[in-house]
Structure 1
Amino acid sequence: MVAWSTRCSSCRQRKIKCDRQWPACGQCQKAKQQCSGPPDKVKFVAENSAEGSSQAVVINRFRSRPSSQVPPRKQPIIPPSVPSSQPTLVGGELVSLLTSQAKTFGFSSFAHVLQHVPAMLDGSQALTSAVSCLADARRRQSMSPKPDRKLDLRLYCSALRNLRFSLQDENELSRIETLLATLIMWRVEATIATTVELPYLLVTWSVHLAGAAYLLERLGPEAANNKLVFSVILESLSELSSHYYARNQWFFMGSPKWQRIFNENRDVSIADKLLFKVYSQMSVFPDVMRDLRRYHLGQVSYDHIHSRIISMHVVFDTIEGPIRTILEDQSVIGKRAACSPTSPVEEVYDTEDSEIPRACCLYALAKIVANNMISALNGSLYKFDEENYLHSRRIWMFHEQAMKVGSFGMHYYPTAILLTYGSAKSRETEEWIVDLLNLLQERNPATDIMWTREEIFQRCYATSGNIWPSLPPEQNLLPTGPSEHANC
């Protein structure tokens, strides 16, 4: 078994939970005492199969301590008496990665999911190989100068092979480890792997996103009672919604049973409560979008689709006030002058709270989509332009925060910035959005397909609620209405 210590020394001594918001954790700030920062050591517990007991192994990982007798090593130092198994090595590598790349991982909810992974590596080759691929890819991504090849093909193919074996095993399909391996491989492909041209799809898509959807649907809403599974749902829901409505398909999380998991009373922050409201509406986007396209084909009545879109707007109207209050509260989020002279906003937001950018950006993203829906329905293409511009500016004001932590820290941001393209009031702003997308996703003209104005416009068309010009009217349009899934 693998165990790990990620708390600062003060929190360990006081035996309390540490939020690991370095350089000073929240508990130490609250107690008005100096925080020691990340732990000096990571502790692993290796099973001794011969004696049936456990032996503690301490691995120096976080701070280099020069010594003339012990030269520094890049690999974990494991005493010979304890087997250095692959899960142990990979677990140590992941813990080191989470600490050394605190800016990129520490600002992300994905980091909170990964913190649980080292203790789960034993017995899941799919998860172990996925983490190994992730760690190697992150190292390659942070190298300078950056290499053209972003992935080790041997590790990548091994991860794909082991994940395929797990998906073919009936017993593995219900394991959280398989779901986590799928989530990790999605993030590797969506934010690191060379991006290929996939028509009509948004920026964070990967084939493994469809795999995560399959596993979550198979597990059912009851699985969300597990906090880790619930974290996976929150981490992937906006992309899953985009995945389904880009294909004109009904999204299973729009059913009443799945909706309850977002409406339950949870002991979370105000920002997260607002985020759950946003997620509850995003999960029905695919079905509403499909009905909107069917309306254009004369298959759905105006009253039916109009009432569905208006009901979403009613929920969003209850979110706007609290979001504005958060953005105006200088104690939780600050403003400063934008660094770039080409920025379409003069000021940018600055906060260390990862929940605030996610709630604000996803709310703005969802509201832009909802406005596009009602515009497509009523033909009022310009009625919501100013409102969309307001929400786009909020997204733009987080762009320096996104640049600081990268697409791993704010993985939802590329999609958010893409959907602001229609609010650009000048050619310069359009070019700025294109350049920012390429920069955020670290696209290289020599190896990647670069974002262009035409490509972004095509992706934005997915949220217009209209029929694709190249798509036959009958293709992928399901003949049944939402009542078919009412009891799912």
Structure 2
Amino acid sequence: MVGVPRSKRCERCKRIKIKCDETWPTCTPCLRAKTLCSGPPNLTKFINNGRHTPVAEESSESETMVHFVTSGKGVKNLKSIRHQGLPNGAQLGHFRLSADEPRKNLTTVADRVAARFVGYLTHERAAWDMLASAGYNRHLPVRLSESAALRDSVALVCSTWSNSRRNVPPDQIVDPNLYGKALRSLQRSLEDQQLQLRCETLAAATLLERVELIFDTHRPYQRTRHSFGISSLMSARGPPNPNDELDMHLALENHASMISHWLVHGGENFYLTPTWAEVIQPMKSKLEKSVPAERLPCYTLGYYYGFWPGLVHEFRRITNHPNESLKQELAMNFRDRVATLESKVIDIGESMIERALLTGRMLEQLDPETPIGKKFCFESIDLLSSVISYGMIRTVFNRLQSQVNDLLGELDFLLEADHRNTCRLTWMCIPFILGLGMAPSMMFATSIFLAYEGANEVEKEYLLDVIMKMAAYNGRYPEDRSAIEHIMSNTAKALTGRDVFAPSIQAAAKGEE
């Protein structure tokens, strides 16, 4: 009958053609079969018979978004699937809920988790939340019903957000029961050949890695395992699907995690291979309309970040080369290539900062409370991340060139002055970073470690004070000032090829290799 749902049966009952008793959230046949019930279908038919008043209608070749008002209540976010005229002027349309929101009738666990997740994403403080600002978030709610691993990971994220905003103690922010449940669900998906390479499984692993990095301060550090898993998954899956925005965002936002992984553990950056590059490069233009403008420079700079691990490992090989004359030739060639990369990064970064200052999206203010004397204020967390990313990669390229000069017995005063100016760019962001809270501040600790070497004695004391505040919040770092300085020194040197990463935080604190 026109205007009535075709069937209220769940997907499994329709597929195997059995009667569904519609006892939601799990019908009896699915309960007996011990399978996940999909709940009632999203597909509903509507009729325009003159008693429905159209509020807005936007049409395109691919799809139409239609909003109706029925009995005084709005029916929002419907996508037109099919539209046809009927005799006597009536019209028939098939509509489905749009992909950026969960269903309004919350009949399954996935629906309830999705609704809670959307609530957090639309919270007034979400724009300043490092976890909420990730580009893939808005694509997750409608995918929860397709993956138990993703559903449980999102449930963990919601719980963690809630605990963080209620200012619970740092060691209680991550619920151990939900964390364990999410890990077990992810493990089951990885063991299932049909699920292990799906986009939703990668999204679940990504969320666990993000929660671990930002919030999990006192339990054993699992980020290394997560990064190994994400690297293996992405390598096995191959390039992202250019027609799936979730897949594209996961590829771009996981790049930073993979850079850290390759710096510490080595391995090939598959993002730079021809197979991946021909997919990744056009993706940025595709996402221009769906991501904030301030985030695009971060994605563009990400391409040059891709060279970082390879350059660091190459510099170590040059340093240890047995042939002295060949070593000098390799070093000069290496320095020229790094200088070329840095010039391209400067073009991107300086134009970004100039535009942000001219438009007022980034302000430079006096700051008498710090030895730096000035500070930056930002309109968005995306712009902050882009500026920090620019400062980090410039510092890395600068230090690599300086180290080659040391190897060749040369000195470049302009290069050293440029190093200090670049470090100052990072220092001026610190007051704003601390204003975001201790948990998100930890995301920027590495940039402060890299910028530490460019400071004078007074500035170093200030930077140590900042890191000591973070150490007091983060239970992984020692509270001894000299130990923190050893950790910062080891990290900065290892990130620029002058040292190897210490096997543990404790070893770095003691100055051990």
Relative distance call for 1:434 and 1:218 in structure 2 (3 A) is farther
| Corresponding residue number in structure 1 for 2:454 | 423
Relative distance call for 1:283 and 1:444 in structure 2 (3 A) is closer
| Corresponding residue number in structure 1 for 2:506 | none
Please list, as runs of the form range in 1=range in 2, the aligned pairs for 1:241-256 lying within 5 A after superposition: 241-256=259-274
Deviation for aligned residue 1:332: 4.1
CA contact (8 A) 1:108 1:408 kept: no
CA contact (8 A) 2:197 2:237 kept: yes
CA contact (8 A) 2:152 2:181 kept: yes
The separation in 2 between residues aligned to 1:469 and 1:188, in whole angstroms, is: 23
| Corresponding residue number in structure 2 for 1:356 | 383
Pick which of 117-126 and 327-336 moved more: 327-336
Deviation for aligned residue 1:169: 1.7
RMSD: 4.0
Relative distance call for 1:116 and 1:272 in structure 2 (3 A) is closer
Q: Give the SS at the match of 2:136.
A: helix
TM-score, scaled relative to structure 2: 0.67
- Which has the greater radius of gyration? 2
| Corresponding residue number in structure 1 for 2:344 | 318
Which one of 227, 243, 250 corresponds to residue 209 of structure 1?
A: 227
Q: Give the SS at the match of 1:121.
A: helix
Aligned residues: 404
Please list, as runs of the form range in 1=range in 2, the aligned pairs for 1:77-88 lying within 5 A after superposition: 84-88=107-111
What letter corresponds to residue 330 of structure 1 in structure 2? Answer: L
CA contact (8 A) 1:277 1:315 kept: no
What letter corresponds to residue 463 of structure 2 in structure 1? Answer: I
The separation in 2 between residues aligned to 1:270 and 1:470, in whole angstroms, is: 38
Which one of 432, 435, 439 corresponds to residue 462 of structure 2?
A: 432
| Corresponding residue number in structure 2 for 1:390 | 421
Deviation for aligned residue 1:90: 1.0
CA contact (8 A) 1:109 1:235 kept: no
The separation in 1 between residues aligned to 2:132 and 2:275, in whole angstroms, is: 24
Please list, as runs of the form range in 1=range in 2, the aligned pairs for 1:50-449 lying within 5 A after superposition: 84-100=107-123, 102-103=125-126, 105=128, 110-144=133-167, 146=169, 148-194=171-217, 205-223=223-241, 226-264=244-282, 266=285, 268=288, 274-298=297-321, 301-304=327-330, 306-328=332-354, 329-337=357-365, 341=369, 343-379=370-406, 383=413, 384-406=415-437, 413-426=444-457, 428-437=458-467, 439=469, 443-444=473-474, 449=478
The separation in 1 between residues aligned to 2:377 and 2:75, in whole angstroms, is: 32
What letter corresponds to residue 436 of structure 1 in structure 2? Answer: V
Relative distance call for 1:469 and 1:87 in structure 2 (3 A) is closer
| Corresponding residue number in structure 2 for 1:26 | none
Seq. identity, % = 19
CA contact (8 A) 1:271 1:355 kept: yes
Relative distance call for 1:124 and 1:422 in structure 2 (3 A) is same
What letter corresponds to residue 233 of structure 2 in structure 1? Answer: L
CA contact (8 A) 1:348 1:397 kept: yes
The separation in 1 between residues aligned to 2:74 and 2:166, in whole angstroms, is: 25
Q: Give the SS at the match of 1:458.
A: helix
Q: In the TM superposition, what whole-angstrom CA distance separates every residue of 1:85-142 from its partner, at most 9, and x where no partner exists?
A: 2112211111111222534556777443111111110031111111111111122222
Q: Give the SS at the match of 1:122.
A: helix
TM-score, scaled relative to structure 1: 0.71
Point out which structure has higher relative CO (alpha carbons under 8 A, 6+ apart): 1
Structure 1: unaligned runs, 5 residues or longer: 4-11, 17-39, 46-52, 62-75, 199-203, 472-488
Relative distance call for 1:174 and 1:394 in structure 2 (3 A) is same
What letter corresponds to residue 464 of structure 1 in structure 2? Answer: T
CA contact (8 A) 2:426 2:448 kept: yes
More strand by share: 2
CA contact (8 A) 1:126 1:181 kept: yes
